Amino acid sequence: MIGPDGRAQHGVFILLRRLRVPLVLLIVSYSVAIAGFTVVTGYTPEGRPWQMSFFHAVYFVSFLGTTIGLGEIPYPFSDAQRLWALLSIYTTVLAWLYGIGAVFSTLQDPLFRRILHENRAFSGVRRMREPFYLICGYDDSGTLVARELAEAGVRTVVVDKNPERVDAVEVDQLRQQVPALVADASDPRALTLAGIANGRCAGVVALTGDDSINVNIALAARLLNPKSEVICAARWHHKQPEMAAVGADHIINPFDTFAERLVLALQAPSLHIIYEALTIQNANAMGTPRILPHGRWIVCGHGPFGRTVRRHLEKAGIQVIVMEEHADDDLPDGSVAGSPTRAETWRAARVETADGVVVCGPDDTENLTACLTARKLNADVFLAVRQNERRNSPMFRAAPVDLSVLSGYIVAAEVLRIIRAPQLSYFMRLARQQKEEWAHNLLMSMREHIGDDTVESWSVTMDREEAPAVVAALRSGRVVRVGDVMSAPDNRDLRLSAVPLLLQRANEKVLLPGDEEVLAEGDRLLLCGREVATSRMRWTVRDDTVLAYVLDGIASNRRVPWPALPPLPPGSNC
């Protein structure tokens, strides 16, 4: 049970409180038994009266209560002593049975188990010595985020009010140990227990599926740990300004993200492939740009997802017909009313002549049924469908659809992108302003350097923490160019399997910086490439001897031609 200070109450005190009566009963029964033996008179074999000493009484009652039976000491008992021993046996045994029963009852008590669970989670957070992210919500998106961060060696803490989801944290066998807490994330005390105010909490990710709770989480994070990064998922647009007002650094709306990708695929197919490669897990740059039809599209469902898709398609100049089963005052003119699982509804929407269909309902079964119905009437129409639950993935993979969209997957991909390469948003914003020819040339460059390997994206800041060798060289007057850090650390004539995407310097942003671009202290460089290129580049920018080699060809075992920076003090950032 969480205390008012956000700390877990100690289970041992709760246990002692619950066992107070059994313990008192045990103490009283033993005390009476011991006292009785010291006053009841016995007789020696010679017939002399005697009384048991306190030590002998304690000794005898101690094994009497266990029913071991070591005999009558130091002499055979009198009838009075045997009668008192008989009463003492029943009294102490009953006291023990009552006490043991009380212990088992307390251990099974939901409150006690909850306290133990909170203590375990609290201890797990306190033992952390590395920066960690607090993930509020362990649904599909939370699961994917926790797993990917664990694979990358990033520590996380999970909070979810659903016990089954929290139990899944252990079942998922994550590479890193993840403290998990069953609690309402809208309760600031629960968040405090989970480490939101901990100085090592680098960020808070609100993925509860409830926008109001996500707002509360963002507010708590901003007030209790102002330095932490706050990432919020939002389903309703009217909640997004509220999230921004309380201090959320990043707001992810999966419906907006999908609609933007759909429009991107319509307008710039090559850039869409690049975007997918940079944001989707285990994706590469070898996908074939698909030319989506620009004719008439049907949006099935007019909830938050359907409204967003319709708005983005209409903004892109696409003719849209809305199909909605339930009456809605916000339905546009020309909408078709009826169940999407019936063929007559699709015929009323003229699906036979439509070029694209997006099924946006909140129920997976109805969505798949609607897709099958539409496919029967038009085998060539481009068919995209919303998937709501990850467990239904086998059915969606087998369904005759061109694109299925899992909201949780989109949210997870965006969260990971923000954590791993926050500059990617700037890059995509600038890239959308370029022409298809520019995107096609970039795609060809990525294929040349990365091939069919999974595309990884990462950022490097030219500061003392991430690139101490580069900073030392710059401060000594040396010129370091983008091409220098792109050289292989063991053979400078070879180039890393990576492509520089963006160079950010104060308010200046350079798209696709060339090899001759000069670096300055504080620059942030966004790159994409093979996974192995990440560690090789970090080796170059961190190690003075390696950087000297790629700059001047000096062997790595020779002296560095500039003074190295002194090591950073523990805990410093710069």
Is residue 116 in a domain?
Answer: no
Is the separation of the CB atoms in 401 and 385 below 8 Å? yes
State the sign of the Cα–Cα–Cα–Cα dihedral 269, 272, 277, 282.
negative
Is residue 273 in a domain?
Answer: no
Q: Quote the pLDDT of residue 572.
A: 47
Regarding whether 133 and 100 lie in a shared domain, the answer is no
- Which letter, b or e, does each residue of 178-202 get, where b requires 16 or more Cβ atoms within 10 Å of its Cβ? bbbbbbbbbbbbbbbbbbbbbeebb
pLDDT tens for 410-457 read 888 888 888 877 788 788 888 888 888 888 899 899 988 888 888 888
Backbone torsions φ then ψ of 404, nearest 5 degrees: -115, 140
Regarding whether 324 and 233 lie in a shared domain, the answer is no
Short-list 222, 210, 353, 335, CA closest to 293: 353
Is residue 26 in a domain?
Answer: yes
Is residue 314 in a domain?
Answer: yes
The CATH number for 512's domain is 3.30.70.1450
Number of compact structural domains in the chain: 4
Is the separation of the CB atoms in 176 and 152 below 8 Å? no
Regarding whether 214 and 305 lie in a shared domain, the answer is no
Tens digit of each residue's pLDDT, the chain (574 residues): 555 555 556 666 777 777 888 899 999 999 999 999 899 988 888 888 888 889 888 888 887 766 666 677 778 888 898 899 889 988 988 988 998 898 888 888 887 788 888 888 888 888 888 899 999 999 888 888 888 888 888 899 999 988 888 888 877 777 888 898 898 888 888 888 888 888 889 999 999 989 999 999 999 999 998 888 999 999 888 889 999 998 889 999 988 888 888 887 888 888 888 887 887 666 677 777 677 788 889 999 888 888 899 989 898 888 899 988 887 777 888 888 888 888 999 999 898 889 899 998 889 999 999 999 999 998 888 898 988 888 888 898 898 988 888 878 888 888 888 887 778 878 888 888 888 888 889 989 998 888 888 888 888 999 988 899 999 999 988 899 999 999 998 888 888 999 999 999 877 889 999 999 999 999 999 999 988 898 899 999 998 888 888 888 876 555 566 666 666 555 444 3
Is residue 178 in a domain?
Answer: yes
Q: Quote the pLDDT of residue 89.
A: 87
Regarding whether 363 and 245 lie in a shared domain, the answer is no
Is residue 124 in a domain?
Answer: no
Is the separation of the CB atoms in 8 and 112 below 8 Å? no
The CATH number for 381's domain is 3.40.50.720
Q: Which domain holds residue 25?
A: 4-108
Regarding whether 412 and 297 lie in a shared domain, the answer is yes
Regarding whether 242 and 332 lie in a shared domain, the answer is no
Helical ranges in 225-315 per DSSP H: 240-246, 254-267, 269-279, 304-315
- Confidence (pTM): 0.73
Q: Quote the pLDDT of residue 501.
A: 92
Is the separation of the CB atoms in 439 and 510 below 8 Å? no
CA-to-CA separations, 139 to 77, 136, 280, in angstroms, rounded? 70, 9, 18
CA-to-CA separations, 364 to 31, 271, 327, 381, 503, in angstroms, rounded? 69, 30, 21, 20, 43
The CB density around residue 534, as the number of other CB atoms within 10 Å, is 18
Regarding whether 528 and 477 lie in a shared domain, the answer is yes
Regarding whether 455 and 403 lie in a shared domain, the answer is no
Regarding whether 79 and 23 lie in a shared domain, the answer is yes
Q: Quote the pLDDT of residue 30.
A: 92
Quote the DSSP letter at residue 517. Answer: P
